[in-house]
Amino acid sequence: MPVMQDDDVLLTFKEAMNYLRVSRSTLYRLMWSGQLTGHKVGSTWRFYRGDLRACVGRETPTPVAKLQAKLQSRLSAQNSQNQNATTAHNS
């Protein structure tokens, strides 16, 4: 019979909240954002301890950093379009 490792244990939603020391809404947010993998067992969510550990160690951009990156990308695209239009106009 195979021996279960600590990371193989499935934790309940409440146990996962306690393990990460986060609120219910934060745990759901981590799941919906793709930062945490949850497994639906029947009508309840379960989490591998290893997935919880991985979630803690994963660096994710803050909303401000995401917005800054998006704005920078748009500005770069606009600058590129403006340069192309100027070049075509001067030709």
Asked if the model's pLDDT at residue 88 lies above 70, the reply is: no
In sequence order, what are the beta bridge partners of 12? 46
Largest CA distance in the chain: 77
Question: Which range scores top for mean pLDDT: 43-47, 53-57, 85-89?
Answer: 43-47
Q: Average pLDDT in the 19-46 region?
A: 93
Q: pLDDT averaged over the chain?
A: 80
User: By the 8 A CB rule, do 18 and 59 touch?
Assistant: no
- 1-60 folds as Multidrug-efflux Transporter Regulator; Chain: A; Domain 2 (1.10.1660)
pLDDT digits (tens, 9 = 90+) for 23-36: 999 999 999 988 89
Question: Which range scores top for mean pLDDT: 4-13, 16-25, 60-69?
Answer: 16-25
Specify the residue for token string 């160690």: 57
